[in-house]
Chains A and B, each alone.
Chain A
Amino acid sequence: MSEILLLGRRAVREIVRYPEATIPTLFIPLFFLVVNLGQVQKTFPSTTPFLKGQSYVAFQLPVSIIFAAATATSGLALVTEIDNGYFDKLLVTPIRRSSIILGRLCADFVRGIAGSLLVLLVGIALGARVATGVPGAVVMILLGAGFGVAYAGFAILIALRTRNVQATQSSFLLFFPLLFLTPNFVPFNRLSSVMDTLAHINPISYVIVGLRSLVIDGWNWGEIGVAFAVVIAMGAILTGASLRTIARYDRS
């Protein structure tokens, strides 16, 4: 455990010392939040039934949180270390190989908390109200950070499999379409039938719906529970695959 914390602390230090790696990942979701509001806020005034009296910013806020939390930064840091030889240096120490990944995920959790909090504060400043209050805001931040950790496993997996910076960077492009195959602009029932089907099979939709319920609906435990279950399942699959890959790294 201590080795995970040591490596996690190092990764957090890296975030703090390389703000240029984090700032763009926060700028883009905030940019989309503001631009999307500018485009459709008049189309969906607060009298729109699915907004339940809130500004449209409340509806968009969960999408921006997801966007801010999901980054390929850990994968990129890992592939850079593979490239510069520090990864090998870690592999010849007597630590468990899994600690290298779990240390990175600790930093992703910290980064996810900071990113979700920032987006949430901007959303509130733009007029959103969290229906579940401060406890709900905390749950939103934890759910966003959890999603960031789960998603990080994907970029880490690509980094370990390809050992290529460009390929790891491109992993984010796979996430992009998934983000839009969701009820991100309107609820499920307002989507076309094809989009509705696609959105229903896209697990990210359920994380957005869970976050949204905390902002707009109140404590809807069913939706919140499903959102956490999706994050846990995603994390188990992607982190599990990453752990398996690092265990087999150069072992054949």
Chain B
Amino acid sequence: MTLSTDPRGGEMPLDAAGAAISVRSLRRTFKGGIEAVRDIDLTVARGEIFGFLGPNGAGKTTTVRMLCTLLPPTSGNASVAGLDVVEDAAEVRRRIGVALQEIGLDPVQTGRELLELQCGLYGVTGRDARDRAEELLELVGLTEAADRRTKTYSGGMKRRLDLASALVHAPEVLFLDEPTTGLDPASRLTVWEEVRRINATGTSVFLTTQYLEEADQLCQRLAIIDDGRIVTEGTPAQLKAQMGHDVVTISLAAADVPTTEAALAELPGLERSMTEREALVLYVEDGARSIPEIVRRLDRESIGVAAISVSRPTLDDVFLQATGRRLEGDEQEEPTP
């Protein structure tokens, strides 16, 4: 049994039977044999914010669509709130809230009308629906804009309203598919605050993102998905700890990669090294103390470099280690059904 970090600081057991989400050998193959998701396994504990990190096209959205009952798996099984997503799809939909990557709003309705309709679709009507809509509008800071049509809302307002519409029935599990993509930094922070607040009420959150900072800031645990496969999983701290102590990045300019790598191969405290397009990345015990020795060794071999920097490992380093490339700036489209 694995353990998950509890939002309140402790650790909770990851028991598949009592989990918010449990996925076993889940696979989705689209027409033409495109394998969007390849036999993934994961467990999300109740009350957890779980991050699903990966570049565009990695299989994040396809996974979310399967878990939300929008798309049937090709094979494998998945349960949400203890219910099978294929066998008990209707009941799963009652228990989940969903804010998909594409903000699903009806532009003709006002924010208030949209929330009241959403309440109605979950069986909350009349006075209760009006009160719930008012409460949610206040929660996401849209009270003043409540009676304007949603087509007049900014991107951040639309995202907040979409989030509110996913909460009308106080779901057990909330799916957020790239909730901050396309938002300005201020709106992004607002959404993060909302997610934390929602999670504090006991709602489990499954959040996909391609932003490292978002995963780092929000998620108690995360999995990295690349090319349809989960390549690593753990708490952000655990994943970064696996990387070693410090990261020294040497921008190579015109320097030859194999020669530079060979010159630093026996560097004291070196745990491992990786090459990137125009840089050599060294994972070392003590970055600051390694710099003089690195400079000496490069100098001895007459290797000129553009820059040397020291940093703590980030999730991007974790991603690089797991996939062989950086996450940020990686762009490809996910297949659609």
Contacts and interface: CB of A to CB of B under 8 A. Distances in A.
B70 interface: yes
A48 B15 CA distance: 85
B181 to A, nearest CB: 13
Contacts of B90: 94
A86 B165 CA distance: 11
Contacts of A87: 104
Nearest to A83: B102
Contacts of B118: 93
A250 B104 contact: no
A176 interface: no
A177 interface: no
A74 to B, nearest CB: 14
12 contacts: A2-B120, A10-B106, A86-B105, A92-B70, A92-B93, A92-B98, A94-B90, A94-B91, A94-B121, A94-B122, A250-B71, A251-B72
Contacts of A237: none
A84 B108 CA distance: 12
Given A92-B68, A92-B96, A85 B120 contact: no
B100 to A, nearest CB: 6
B102 to A, nearest CB: 3
A86 B93 contact: no
B209 interface: no
Interface string A68-89: 0000000000000100111111
B121 A95 contact: yes
Given A10-B109, A85-B104, A89-B98, A250 B120 contact: no
Contacts, number: 69
Contacts of B117: 6-7, 10
Interface string B80-111: 00000000001101101010101111111100
A195 B108 CA distance: 44
A173 B227 CA distance: 43
Contacts of A89: 98, 100, 104-105, 162, 165
Interface stretch (A13-21, A56-64, A128-136): A13-21
Contacts of A233: none
B69 interface: yes
Contacts of A85: 100, 102-105
Identify which of A6, A84, A94 gathers the most chain B CB atoms within 10 Å of its CB: A94
B337 interface: yes
B120 A6 contact: yes
Contacts of B68: 92
A252 interface: yes
**Prevailing SS type, chain B contact patch:** loop
B113 interface: yes
Contacts of A90: 121
B104 A84 contact: yes
Contact of A3 (B70, B104, B120): B120
A107 to B, nearest CB: 12
Interface string B308-337: 000000000000000000000000000001
Contacts of A93: 93, 118, 121-122
A35 interface: no
Interface in B126-155: 149
A93 B149 CA distance: 22
B125 interface: yes
Interface string B158-180: 00001001000000000000000
A171 B125 CA distance: 37
A13 B109 contact: yes
A2 B165 CA distance: 19
B106 A6 contact: no
A186 interface: no
Given A18-B108, A93-B93, A3 B102 contact: no
B128 to A, nearest CB: 13
B106 A81 contact: yes
Given A7-B117, A94-B93, 13 more contacts: A10-B106, A10-B113, A14-B108, A81-B106, A84-B102, A84-B105, A85-B100, A87-B104, A89-B162, A91-B70, A93-B93, A93-B121, A93-B122
